[in-house]
Amino acid sequence: MNRFVLSCGLSLLCLVPAFGEEKPALDTSRGDAMIAEYFCVGTDRLRDACLAEIESAEDWQQNKQRYRSELLEMLGLDPLPEKTDLKPVVTGKVEHDEFTVENVHFQSRPGLYVTGNLYVPKNIDGKLPAILYVCGHGRVAKDGISYGNKTHYQHHGGWFARHGYVCLTIDTLQLGEIEGVHHGTYNHNRWWWLNRGYTPAGVEAWNCVRALDYLETRPEVDASRFGVTGRSGGGAYSWWIAAIDERIKCAVPVAGITDLQNHVVDGCVEGHCDCMYMVNTHQWDYAKVAALISPRPLLISNTDSDGIFPLDGVVRTFERVRRIYTLQGAAEKVALNITAGGHKDTQELRVHAFRWFNQHLKGDDSLIEKTAVKLFEPEQLKVFAENPSDEINTKIDETFVAQAKPVLPATEDEWAKQRESWRALLQEKSFAGWPQENQFGDSREVFNVVNEGIRFRAIDFTSQEAIELRLYIVERAELAKRDLVVLNVLDDKGWSEFLAETRVAFEKQLDGETLPEAASEAFTQTQQMLKSSAWTMAYVAPRGIGPTAWDQSERKQTQHQRRFYLLGQSLDGMRVWDVRRAAQTLRGTEGFADVPLWLQSQRQMAGVTLYASLFEPEITRLDLHELPTSHRDGPFFLNVTRFLDLPQAVAMAAERSRVALYSANPAAWEYAEQVGQLLGWDAKQLQIRKPVAGTPEGD
């Protein structure tokens, strides 16, 4: 039942051998209900907080720049990248009676290519307003060659050019001529994007910024009259660029925004890739993004039966944004356009967008007489004959957001300042989703039974609103004074091993759990250990594991993790909170207040346990087995590698508690060892040991 061997000078039991690969079916109904309620509660909290502090135009002016800075940070654009040479190249032209299309590329960063089509009217009388058209996901490919989303949406550029606008239609990262990735967390398991504070929305936003820079170089363009539009993904990118860059004077995002209620509670997140979302460090609802366009003209456009941008959420967002416009005396500059249909690029949507731009960029209220039609074959609009060899589009997620490269401090004072800075950053940027401490009620003992000389107790506690967890305590039946209590933090494998061992003597108390085959030998070893020592073993399975496991399908596991992300959290980050609450509950249980407390765990959960120790007082020791050497392999916390990685966290923990690391790669922890040398730790403060035959052990 102790799951791992503790290095305490005693020869204790080994890990329970792994069971068969086939997992028994789990009853997840409790976990499903719990997590659904949790997402409702969290969504309501962010909704109620969104723009609540804005009660006047003065309030808006005082807060607007801070909001924009927060959005830039959440897009991975703080600090803003250097505006390097665009190196624009026109690779070809296509002629139409009324306009010319230039096939153009530029580099928004060195090697980050943006491919596009520039639609320029032939009859030019002075400088013209310019539209940046940002594409949704409209794949056009033949024989394995991608022609880019821009060819799918060409009819928009053609219409604008025939009506006196210059229009630059640019490809997106995904489905462009050079095909990058928007689906990192959606279906590629790139959860390390969270650690980096990376979202492809930031790349799209930056490409839009540089597209405006390019348009400013064109002699045909009036840079004081920029507009932006696009639908679906392009609707989202319209929001990003209009919110962060006031060069946009008029915006028509189409089918590109709704609120957290739709995304998190109603499940729209399951139909969207990562380009739709900022890294929600500051816990926004989406009305705040939209409000940043005020008081510039804004038309929010959508259909009434769009399954991934539902009408109710669009209307709620509009109402919140209209309040901000109204406070500024600009209510007439924001409007909501709803037409019939599903998630499609309909003519009705286009007509309203065209009229809005005509009214606000040209002062023209005439009727729309020409429809938007596709005039060219995809081959005519392709920019590259061959993709450039120096492109970084396909791996931009590795470099777009700068990652920390911690340097060993030279003095104890430098270390102290660095440590406190990291701790503050963790609280502000990684764990802002934690609730306020000490706001929950008393824990509740569920059972307390004795069998075969062992006392087995269960205590239920509230980790945070809607999250109810269970702490198990195992010790000698008549133990009067405890020398040590060890809190074991269980992952899925650890939970299965705990059940296998515990059921030998306490199967009745595990009623309702799906039990694996009993592990009698392991129970006997634990029984002998507890009878010969004054130790207590405690166990907790953080949310989503064991008793609170939710739907085990790969899709639902992925999309629930993304829901945490939308709420400005991560699943692992909230599991750190669960471990903290378990430790607090254990401390608050009669007889445990002054008992030395050890924490131990394995694999990714060892990282969760490590971080919990940084925020809980008086943790005597950590035993961490198979701890990943980098956050790249987990655990996944928002923004964490923007300032530190696991070796630095180990150094922080070892200053507070003794740490025993069981690692097959001891060299990975050199940074922590060097900090120990700087601070003069004794040999037991940080011990790095190799696992023996798959089982951690030591003296």
Rounded to whole angstroms, how far apart are CA atoms 693 and 61? 64
Q: What is the dihedral of CA 198, 199, 200, 201, to 10 degrees?
A: -130
Average pLDDT over residues 53-64: 98
Which amino acid is present at 621?
R
> Binning pLDDT at 50, 70 and 90, where does residue 440 land?
confident
3-class SS of residue 307: coil
Average pLDDT over residues 668-688: 97
> Binning pLDDT at 50, 70 and 90, where does residue 12 land?
very low
Report whether pLDDT(10) > 80. no
Average pLDDT over residues 275-297: 98
Rounded to whole angstroms, how far apart are CA atoms 388 and 305? 41
Average pLDDT over residues 287-314: 98
Q: How far is CA 193 from CA 17, 196, 285, in A?
A: 34, 5, 21
> Binning pLDDT at 50, 70 and 90, where does residue 690 land?
confident
Phi, psi of 690 (to 5 degrees): -85, 140
- For the segment 354-394, what is each residue's pLDDT rounded down to a tens digit? 999 999 999 999 999 989 999 999 999 999 999 999 999 99
> Binning pLDDT at 50, 70 and 90, where does residue 185 land?
very high
Domains of the chain: 30-45+443-689 (3.40.50.1820), 65-398 (3.40.50.1820)
Average pLDDT over residues 687-697: 63
Average pLDDT over residues 175-202: 97
Tell me if 176 sits within 8 A of 266, measured CB to CB. Answer: no
Average pLDDT over residues 91-102: 98
pLDDT at 25 (0 to 100): 62
Task: Please spell the DSSP secondary structure of 218-248, one letter per residue.
Answer: -TTEEEEEEEEEEETHHHHHHHHHHHH-TTE
The burial class, CB within 10 Å (0-12 / 13-18 / 19+), for 370 is exposed
Tell me if 208 sits within 8 A of 275, measured CB to CB. Answer: no
- For the segment 395-405, what is each residue's pLDDT rounded down to a tens digit? 999 999 999 99
> Binning pLDDT at 50, 70 and 90, where does residue 15 land?
very low
Tell me if 311 sits within 8 A of 346, measured CB to CB. Answer: no
Report whether pLDDT(589) > 80. yes
- How many Cβ atoms are within 10 Å of 428's Cβ, its own excluded? 12
Report whether pLDDT(8) > 70. no
Structure tokens at 612: 């919990």
> Binning pLDDT at 50, 70 and 90, where does residue 132 land?
very high
Q: How far is CA 257 from CA 236, 278, 525, 683, in A?
A: 6, 12, 58, 56
Let me know how long the chain is.
699
> Binning pLDDT at 50, 70 and 90, where does residue 3 land?
very low
Report whether pLDDT(161) > 50. yes
- How many Cβ atoms are within 10 Å of 83's Cβ, its own excluded? 12
Average pLDDT over residues 193-207: 98
Output 25 or 255, whichever has higher pLDDT.
255
In 3D, which of 535, 547, 532 has the Cα closest to residue 487? 535
Tell me if 278 sits within 8 A of 71, measured CB to CB. Answer: yes
Helices (H) and strands (E) in the chain, counts: 20, 20
The burial class, CB within 10 Å (0-12 / 13-18 / 19+), for 307 is exposed
Distance of CA 478 to the CA centre of its chain: 48
Tell me if 182 sits within 8 A of 172, measured CB to CB. Answer: yes
Rounded to whole angstroms, how far apart are CA atoms 211 and 88? 10
pLDDT at 110 (0 to 100): 98
Q: How far is CA 39 from CA 189, 192, 349, 565, in A?
A: 22, 22, 33, 11
Rounded to whole angstroms, how far apart are CA atoms 535 and 486? 8
Rounded to whole angstroms, how far apart are CA atoms 233 and 256? 6
pLDDT at 438 (0 to 100): 66
Tell me if 608 sits within 8 A of 575, measured CB to CB. Answer: yes
Q: What is the dihedral of CA 169, 174, 177, 180, to 10 degrees?
A: 130
Output 440 or 687, whichever has higher pLDDT.
687
Report whether pLDDT(540) > 60. yes
Least confident among 194-208, 329-343, 408-422, 679-693: 679-693
- For the segment 607-627, what is each residue's pLDDT rounded down to a tens digit? 999 999 999 999 999 999 999
Structure tokens at 699: 């003296």
pTM confidence score: 0.94
Average pLDDT over residues 500-519: 95
Output the average pLDDT for the chain: 94
Rounded to whole angstroms, how far apart are CA atoms 273 and 267? 13
Q: Which residues contact 150 (CB under 8 A, 6 or more apart)?
A: 115, 116, 117, 135, 157, 169, 170, 171, 176, 381
pLDDT at 13 (0 to 100): 24
